[in-house]
Structure 1
C-alpha cells in the first residue's frame, strides 16, 4: 500500500511538472531573439497581439493593464459641454451604395462616437461595454497633442525658435541623421532621417525593431533610435511620416521644460482645458527608466478627446480663457503640400482635408478627432479597425463628408 501511495505521489509530481512546462506560453521568435526582457512573457505576448483584429476592441481601451503608465491628472472644475441630443437622421454614399448613418457605427468597427455641432454634443454613443469613464488609446492622435505642447514651449520661450536645429537642445543627436534637422522640419515630418514607418515583423526593419524593443520588451527607449539613425533625404525636402520624429519632439519637451511630458501636458493642456477625467501615457519602460510614448501613447475618455477637438475649433480658447496660442493652431492645421497624402496634406502633426478647412488628429486603426471650422463640427471616433485593411478609412472619409453637412433638427 505504501509503495502505491509513493508511486501515486511520484506520478503526481511528474504530471505537475509536465503540465507546468506545457502551460508556459512561448515567445514568438521575433520577440525571443535579441536582448532579454524582464517584462512577463504573457504581457509581452499580449502587447505583440494588441493590434490584432480579434482583441483590439478590448485592448485599445485597457492599455493601462498592458503597460506602465504616467498619469495626466485632471483638476478643478470640468469644462461643461452642453448637449442637445439628436438621432443621426442622414445617409451617406459609399462604393455606389447608400447607407443609413446609424448603421455606420457597426459597419465601421466603432467603440465610441461623439459629435458636437456649434459647441453642443448632439450624439454620444458607447459600444462594446465601454462607457463615459473608459479611457481610449489615441495612437497617433498623440502626435497632435505633442504638436500643441511644442507650441506651448515656444510661447513659454523654452524653445527660442522652431527654426533652431534640434541639436541645440538635444546635443545627443549630433552624430546621427538629426544633426542638421530643425524643429520645424521634424514637426512637418520632413526630417529626412532613415526610418521607414513599416511594421513587417517577419522581416523587421528599424521601425518594427524599435516597436519590439521599446514597446513590447521595454529594453530600449523609443526615442533613442534617433541617436545613430541614418539619413535618407535632405532635411526639409521630402515628407515621410515617422513616429520617431514625434518621439524626438517628446524628448525635446522633456529637455526644455525640465520635467516629464505628462507633467507638461497636465499644466499646459489638460488642466486649463477643463478635462473631466485623468488621461495617461503608456511608457516605454518601467518607472524611473521609461519615457512617455509621445508619438502614439496618450489615452483619454471620449468626452475629453472631444474637449480637445472643441478647444482646437475655438482656436485655443475654453470658455473665454486662452489655453493654446491661436496662431500656433492655425499654422499647425495648414497643409504643407499635397504630396503628404491623398487627403489634402499635413501640417504640424495634423492631417488636413482636401477642399476644406477641416483637419484632424488621426490614430492607428481608426482613431479620429475631426474638426471642421466651416460647419462648426467636432467628431470623435474611437475604433478597432482590422489591421492591414484600408476600406474602413475610405468609408469613414465618406461618412465625414455627410456628417459635416448634417444639420440636426
Structure 2
C-alpha cells in the first residue's frame, strides 16, 4: 500500500510539472524593445542667407479657405508682420501696411524671453547662481533698500517678478536707486514690474564681466542666425529685429535650447523651470515666459488673480513672449508650432496678454481644424 501511494505521488508530481511546462513558457531572454514614440524632425533654416523651406496647407490638411479671413483679421488689427512655422518650416508669412520682411520691429516685452535665455546660459557657464543675491553682481547700494533688505533679493526674484520692490512708484520703468523702494518681502507677492526685470542686464553684465548685449550676441543671436540689436530707450532696453529673427528664436525654444545639432543651452533643469510655473503666486508665469493651461493668472497692471486659462482657446502647453502693443511669440510644443505677430496694438495698449490673444487663436483654430 505504501509503495502504491508513493508511486501515485510521484506520477501526480510529474504530470503537474509537465502541465506547468506546457502552460508557462520560459521567458524570452531577448525580449523585443518597446517602440519609441514617433517624433517629427524639425527643420532649421541655414545661417547666413534667406533660404527657408516651406510646407503647404494641403500637406498639413489645414483649411485654406480660412487664410483670407485670417489675413483680413490681422490687417484690421494693425498687424505688420505675421509668420507661422510648422516643425520649423514656413506655412504662412505675410506683411501688412507697407511693412516688409527686411524691416526691424521692436519686440517690447516679448524680448524678456531673450533675457531669460541669456541668464540661463550665464548660470550654465558658472557665472551666476539664481539663488545668489542680485547685489553679488550689481554691487551693494543698487536700490534704496537697507543692506539687509537688499541681500534678500535674488537673481531668481528678478526673473519671476517677485522682488517685492514698490511697483506703485510714479515710474515703474525707472531703475534709478531712488525709484527702487521696499514694498513687500521677496517671494511674497507677484507683480509685473519692469524695473527689476531691466536690472537683469546689469546682473548678467556683472556676472559675465562682459556687456550684456555682446554676451547675448555671441551666445544666442549669432549662433542661430538671428539679426537685430538692443536699443536703449529711456530706462528700457528694447530689442529690434525682423519677424524671421523672432521666429528663429521661437524655433530654438521649440527644440528646447538646441539649434539643429548645436546646443545653445544644455541645462535641462533651467530650461524646464523657465517654461513652467516658477512660483505659486502666478501659476501662468515662468522665468519671464507666459504660460497657458493653468488654473489662474495675473496680468500686468493688476493686483488681482483671475480664474481660468490665460488664453482659453489656445493649446494648454503654449508658452509665449508677450509685449506691449501686441507683440506675440507663441511656441506650442505639442503641435510643433512657432507663431510670430508684430505690429501696433490691436485693441489695447496693455502690457503682456490682451484680449487679442484669444481672438487670434479663434482665427488660428479655424485655419488648422
Q: TM-score, normalised by structure 2?
A: 0.72
Shift of the 338–395 alpha-carbon distance from structure 1 to 2, 3 Å rule, reads: farther
CA contact (8 A) 1:88 1:101 kept: no
Deviations 1:277-299 (A, max 9, x none): x31111247xxxxx8x44xx001
Which residue pairs with 1:304 in the alignment? 245
Which ranges in structure 2 are unaligned for 5 or more consecutive residues? 1-45, 295-315
Residues 284-323 of structure 1 aligned to structure 2 (within 5 Å): 284=233, 293-294=236-237, 297-323=238-264
Residues 227-306 of structure 1 aligned to structure 2 (within 5 Å): 229-275=180-226, 278-284=227-233, 293-294=236-237, 297-306=238-247
SS in 2 for 1:172: coil
CA contact (8 A) 1:111 1:127 kept: yes
User: Is 2:359 the partner of 1:398?
Assistant: yes
SS in 1 for 2:247: helix
User: Is 2:154 the partner of 1:182?
Assistant: yes
Which of the pair has more CA radius of gyration? 2
Shift of the 336–103 alpha-carbon distance from structure 1 to 2, 3 Å rule, reads: same
RMSD value, Cα: 3.0
Which residue pairs with 2:269 in the alignment? 327
CA contact (8 A) 1:370 1:378 kept: yes
Task: Measure, in 2, the Cα distance between the counterparts of 1:253 and 1:137.
Answer: 22
Aligned residue pairs, count: 293
User: Is 2:67 the partner of 1:89?
Assistant: no
CA contact (8 A) 1:335 1:352 kept: yes
Task: Measure, in 1, the Cα distance between the counterparts of 2:346 and 2:365.
Answer: 25
Larger relative contact order (C-alpha < 8 A, sep ≥ 6)? 1
Shift of the 315–269 alpha-carbon distance from structure 1 to 2, 3 Å rule, reads: same
1:83 positional shift: 1.0
Shift of the 131–188 alpha-carbon distance from structure 1 to 2, 3 Å rule, reads: same
Task: Measure, in 1, the Cα distance between the counterparts of 2:280 and 2:359.
Answer: 19
Which residue pairs with 1:347 in the alignment? 286
1:108 positional shift: 2.0
Shift of the 174–372 alpha-carbon distance from structure 1 to 2, 3 Å rule, reads: same
Q: TM-score, normalised by structure 1?
A: 0.65
Task: Measure, in 2, the Cα distance between the counterparts of 1:163 and 1:269.
Answer: 24
CA contact (8 A) 1:132 1:302 kept: yes
* Residue of structure 1 aligned with 2:338, choices 367, 378, 392: 378
Task: Measure, in 1, the Cα distance between the counterparts of 2:348 and 2:364.
Answer: 26
Residues 33-52 of structure 1 aligned to structure 2 (within 5 Å): none
Deviations 1:134-162 (A, max 9, x none): 00100001111111111011011111x10
Shift of the 405–156 alpha-carbon distance from structure 1 to 2, 3 Å rule, reads: farther
Which ranges in structure 1 are unaligned for 5 or more consecutive residues? 1-74, 93-98, 198-204, 211-222, 286-290
